[in-house]
Amino acid sequence: MKHIQGGVCAPQGFKASGVHCGVRKNKSKRDLAMILSEGPASAAAVYTQNLVKGAPIYVTQRNIADGVAQMAICNSGNANTCNANGEEIAWEMCKLAGAAAGVAPENVIVASTGVIGQPLPIEPIAAGVAPLFAALNENGSTEAAEGIMTTDTRLKEVAVEFTAGGVTCKLGGIAKGSGMIHPNLATMLVFLTCDAAISPAMLKKALSDDVKDTFNMVSVDGDTSTNDMVCIMANGKAGNALIEAEGDDYAAFCAALNEVTTTLCRMIAKDGEGASHLLTCIVNGGKTVKDAKLAAKSVVCSSLLKAAIFGADANWGRVLCALGYSGADIDVKKVDVSFRSAKGSISVCEMGSSVDFSEEIAKEILLEDEVEVLVTLRDGEASATAWGCDLTYDYVKINGDYRT
Amino acid sequence: MKHIQGGVCAPQGFKASGVHCGVRKNKSKRDLAMILSEGPASAAAVYTQNLVKGAPIYVTQRNIADGVAQMAICNSGNANTCNANGEEIAWEMCKLAGAAAGVAPENVIVASTGVIGQPLPIEPIAAGVAPLFAALNENGSTEAAEGIMTTDTRLKEVAVEFTAGGVTCKLGGIAKGSGMIHPNLATMLVFLTCDAAISPAMLKKALSDDVKDTFNMVSVDGDTSTNDMVCIMANGKAGNALIEAEGDDYAAFCAALNEVTTTLCRMIAKDGEGASHLLTCIVNGGKTVKDAKLAAKSVVCSSLLKAAIFGADANWGRVLCALGYSGADIDVKKVDVSFRSAKGSISVCEMGSSVDFSEEIAKEILLEDEVEVLVTLRDGEASATAWGCDLTYDYVKINGDYRT
């Protein structure tokens, strides 16, 4: 699939911006972002399954219930979660953003990310909305992506082209990740835009189906955030015939969506807090997709394996251990394990038992910054992929004193 | 309850020993341990629920099926797991130990702990059994406890006195913990001895009931080991009337058992790999015991909270976050959270929202080496306690290069 520049502004009819408004003390860090569609867009979102939810989640759920939205506003530096006046503040953000852009507040997606349990002052946001709106432009995706970052060290934006009904459409996204990443039916903050015409119902179905294989298969630290959200707006500016049922055009849309979300998943995992390695586990031969997914996710979640990957130590016993407690229905006496990277691949376990292998070659493979654990279960035809990262000193450093 | 010296040798009729036999290269580290009862003992054990099980687990399960055992042998440095000839080697260990002591190999409990997936050579163990048997003595508990340690930094032994049928009985134990600790129906290696007379059936019931509230509520790193085992031998040398039904004597036995296992749980958690803090979460007011347990265990398992405790950072939002994804049925708007240690206690969250508190006082409380998170759910009467530790640079260091 063809990747293009422009992130959330790649699709026609979308502008974005990011500014520093003062939620954060550090004036060099943008902390407020906006995305605006030229007209109303079909909209869908999936949210954290944590019982403790950020206040913006509740407001966005209400606003998006009709399947329509036109803009998004998001601050970083404060999650607006566990605050008595949280929903009031989140709704005020919708009103401020909507008033600036001439959009009804009910058509605004609102999100916050940062520390939990500290009241979010509305003043800096109220003061920041005007410059934020003024800064909207068709090359603003990067600034918006910067505005939603917390402990992220790298920008996460991507866009692709696809064809629906003979018309070229574009789909783009920005994301933030880093810590508290272990999505359950939704994930970190991800904003997706598309200029295809697609009905709210089909958009919701496409997004809900997609996250099961993408964001729900990412884990940085096993902690499911209170503020996870993936949202998408599709404004129809590409001029394709409305996608309102399954078929070739819907399939093309889903493929583009999957390309964008998979790319963002890898970016989120690779930029996990403190991470020095992207760790991908690919499971084949599972009895069912559920078994393959449980197995793959358990491997990328194992603290012990994550620490071993940090040390480039081919300690495959930790892979077997994680498979064994994953809850997947597997026969451990039929399991093969290999490690793979740009430097090659090496088999380390066959039929559940140790095989002779060169520790030197294994180390060379694991020193690459993107490594894969390949697991073959020999129990069926199902496959799954999960993404995570290594566990490093820097994860401890970042989270040992996050608030100060 | 009265604590006494002597560990597994505190009860009458038990001897223990530990030697270096050569499974480990480091000659200053004991790597083989033995415990011998003067005659046959009622015996029970609980094992890891990991589908990948160490070979000694299968052999011990068979040997102990009749509820009788007389001795235990355990090596450290190699887990004898994921090896094609593993069960053969474990059975050979039983035969060697039994032959030295004049005990049938079917009455030997065998265990191994250490790295997974490397063949365990029988030669050092065969050579070590004679000196190990010769070293057995009534003050040998500490040497046996040393013999089963891996990355543990502290000895774990404990013993108590209790009265059954007017007779003073003793119950003692040794344990190893440190890494790969997240028991599911059983835990790390724990050897318990008792001189009370109790039937195998009641012993099994007492142990199975006890671990649900003790070892199953400990987590160091979320990884359920392949070799977890808790076993107990009760040889009746105290001379009490046989405990073969519920009643006062059984209750006294269970109370002693719980005192010993709870103490070992705290020791295992406090000496978690790299740990600088014992982290205890006490949940009150749960709707059911299951909810209270899910909530307590989720809190001590959160990587983010564990890192915050390392940094003595009162980041209570991470407690709420962990409660929210715990799977417990809770109303987040009714949750109170406090931190407590020897330096006092401080309320940080009431009715699910932030309260003003002094960060300085909170930090002082959290700098203590044993800290408690107190959670009140206001949903019922159920309580639960879970034990864990903080996540530190040293956890990463220990596990980034465990094998070399």
Same domain for A254 and A289 = no
Contact yes or no for B323 and A349 at CB 8 A: no
What was the pLDDT predicted at A138?
96
Kindly state whether residue B33 falls inside one of the protein's structural domains. Answer: yes
- Last residue in a domain, options A270, A287, A309: A270
Same domain for B233 and B102 = yes
pTM of the model: 0.81
Kindly state whether residue A165 falls inside one of the protein's structural domains. Answer: yes
Per the structure, the complete domain to which residue B294 belongs is given by: 278-400
Work out the average pLDDT over B117-137: 96
Interface test with B, best of A325, A329, A339, A392 (most B CBs within 10 A): A325
Same domain for A261 and A295 = no
- Closest partner residue to A222 (CB to CB) among B222, B353, B400 is B222
Kindly state whether residue B229 falls inside one of the protein's structural domains. Answer: yes
What's the pLDDT tens digit per position in A164-214? 999 999 999 999 876 666 655 334 788 999 999 999 999 999 999 999 999
Kindly state whether residue B76 falls inside one of the protein's structural domains. Answer: yes
Q: Which residues of A383-393 are buried (b: 16+ CB within 10 A; e: fewer)?
A: ebbbbbbbbbb
d(CA A337, CA A349): 5
Same domain for B263 and B285 = no
Per-residue pLDDT of chain A (404 residues; tens, 9 = 90+): 899 999 999 999 999 999 999 999 999 999 999 999 999 999 999 888 788 889 999 999 999 999 999 999 999 999 998 888 999 999 999 999 999 999 999 999 999 998 888 899 999 999 999 999 999 999 999 999 999 988 788 889 999 999 999 999 999 999 987 666 665 533 478 899 999 999 999 999 999 999 999 988 888 776 777 778 888 999 999 999 999 999 999 999 999 999 999 999 999 888 888 889 999 999 999 999 999 999 999 999 998 899 999 999 998 988 998 998 899 999 988 999 999 999 999 999 999 988 999 999 999 999 999 999 999 999 999 999 999 999 888 888 888 865 54
Same domain for A198 and A157 = yes
Contact yes or no for B353 and A53 at CB 8 A: no
Provide, as residue numbers in chain B, all residues whose Cβ is less than 8 Å from the Cβ of A120.
none
With beta carbons less than 8 A apart as the criterion, state whether A175 and A156 touch: yes
**Helix extents (H) in A110-228:** 123-134, 141-147, 200-213
- Closest partner residue to B315 (CB to CB) among A50, A84, A402 is A402
Contact yes or no for B320 and A119 at CB 8 A: no
Q: Is the pLDDT of residue B312 over 60?
A: yes
Q: Is the pLDDT of residue B327 over 50?
A: yes
CATH number for the domain that contains residue B138: 3.60.70.12
Kindly state whether residue B202 falls inside one of the protein's structural domains. Answer: yes
Kindly state whether residue B1 falls inside one of the protein's structural domains. Answer: no
- Closest partner residue to A226 (CB to CB) among B79, B226, B321 is B321
SS3 A42: strand
What's the pLDDT tens digit per position in B225-260? 777 888 899 999 999 999 999 999 999 999 999 999
With beta carbons less than 8 A apart as the criterion, state whether B267 and B156 touch: yes
d(CA A151, CA A145): 13
Same domain for B254 and B118 = yes
Contact yes or no for A320 and B84 at CB 8 A: no
d(CA B293, CA A389): 29
- Last residue in a domain, options B229, B247, B270: B270
> Token digits for A229?
């959200």
CATH number for the domain that contains residue B347: 3.10.20.340
Provide, as residue numbers in chain A, all residues whose Cβ is less than 8 Å from the Cβ of B397.
393
d(CA B196, CA B238): 5
What was the pLDDT predicted at A117?
84
Same domain for B124 and B196 = yes
Kindly state whether residue A2 falls inside one of the protein's structural domains. Answer: no
Same domain for B229 and B154 = yes
Short-list A198, A226, A174, A168, CA closest to A35: A174
> Nearest-CA distance from A125 to chain B in Å?
21
Q: Give the chain A residue whose CA is nearest to the CA of B51.
A: A324
d(CA B53, CA B60): 12
Short-list B287, B145, B275, B157, CA closest to B219: B275
Return the percentage of chain B with pLDDT > 70, whole number: 96
B225 secondary structure, DSSP code = -
Neighbours of A137 (CB within 10 A): 12
d(CA B328, CA B233): 36
Contact yes or no for A52 and B352 at CB 8 A: yes
| CB-side neighbour CA atoms (13 Å) of B259 | 18
Total domains present in chain A? 2
Work out the average pLDDT over B398-403: 69
- Residue A262 sits at the vertex; the CA angle it makes with A113 and A278, to the nearest 5 degrees, is 80
Work out the average pLDDT over B108-134: 94
> Token digits for B112?
């191994």
Work out the average pLDDT over B270-295: 93
What interface predicted TM-score (ipTM) does this complex get? Answer: 0.77
Q: Which residues of A315-334 are buried (b: 16+ CB within 10 A; e: fewer)?
A: bbbbbbbbbbbbebbbebee
With beta carbons less than 8 A apart as the criterion, state whether B174 and B143 touch: no
> A175 pairs with which residues across the strands?
A190
Contact yes or no for A317 and B354 at CB 8 A: no
Same domain for A310 and A234 = no
Same domain for A290 and A245 = no
Handedness of CA A158, A161, A164, A167 (dihedral sign): positive
Same domain for A183 and A60 = yes
> Token digits for A58?
């509740």
Same domain for A191 and A140 = yes
Provide, as residue numbers in chain A, all residues whose Cβ is less than 8 Å from the Cβ of B349.
82, 117
d(CA A188, CA A183): 7
d(CA A391, CA A396): 8
What was the pLDDT predicted at A225?
73
What was the pLDDT predicted at A186?
38
- Last residue in a domain, options B213, B246, B270: B270
Q: Give the chain B residue whose CA is nearest to the CA of A115.
A: B317
SS3 A384: strand
A187 given a catalytic annotation: yes
Kindly state whether residue B325 falls inside one of the protein's structural domains. Answer: yes
What's the pLDDT tens digit per position in B353-383? 889 999 999 999 999 999 999 999 999 999 9
